Amino acid sequence: MRHLLLFLAALLPLCAQEGHPLVGTWHGNWGPDAKTRTDLTLVMFWDGKAVTGMVNPGPDSIKLENATLDPEGWKLHFEGNGKDKAGKSVRIVVDAKIDNITNVRRTLVGTWKEGAASGELKLTRDN
């Protein structure tokens, strides 16, 4: 019994270590209204100074540019260059806030601007 308790006590810190609230994979969507939505996957990293990452990892991924995090209010800003349906380059600008910061399934809510289009962004962090 004593060995079991020691083993469980050793595992406890591993469960509690989650890392920086921004780091990880986030899934959700953005769109100008409730019916018109575009699915997104956002992968972000934090090296202690800079936010890096990409939107929709893969051959057509969008690299995060000018990414900043304001820990006062957990406000995130990033930009990137995507492509519209015709394949033309389009500038993307995102301003969002991390909500439920202490929840492992925290959310990222804000605005997504893609060229002339804009709408609400809502992503949830994966465990």
Residue 9 within any structural domain of the chain: no
Task: Supply the pLDDT for residue 76.
Answer: 97
Number of structural domains found in the chain: 1
Residue 13 within any structural domain of the chain: no
The residue among 1 and 89 whose pLDDT is bigger is 89
Question: What H or E segment, with its residue span, contains residue 11?
Answer: helix 2-16
Whichever domain contains 79, its CATH number is 2.40.128
Report the C-alpha gap between 40 and 121 in whole angstroms.
Answer: 9
Counting residues of the chain whose pLDDT is more than 90, the rounded percentage is 70
Residue 40 within any structural domain of the chain: yes
Question: What's the Cα-to-Cα distance from 60 to each of 20, 83, 99, rounded to whole Å?
Answer: 27, 9, 28
Question: What's the Cα-to-Cα distance from 25 to each of 29, 45, 122, rounded to whole Å?
Answer: 13, 9, 13
Range of the domain at 74: 20-125
Task: Supply the pLDDT for residue 24.
Answer: 93
For 96-123, write each residue's pLDDT tens digit.
Answer: 999 998 888 999 999 999 999 999 999 9
Residue 6 within any structural domain of the chain: no
pLDDT at 8 over 50: no
Residue 69 within any structural domain of the chain: yes
For 81-90, write each residue's pLDDT tens digit.
Answer: 999 888 899 9
For 53-89, write each residue's pLDDT tens digit.
Answer: 999 999 889 999 999 999 899 999 999 999 988 889 9
Question: What's the Cα-to-Cα distance from 42 to each of 2, 15, 32, 72, 79, rounded to whole Å?
Answer: 44, 24, 19, 22, 13
- DSSP category for residue 120: E
Residue 53 within any structural domain of the chain: yes
Residue 15 within any structural domain of the chain: no
Residue 14 within any structural domain of the chain: no
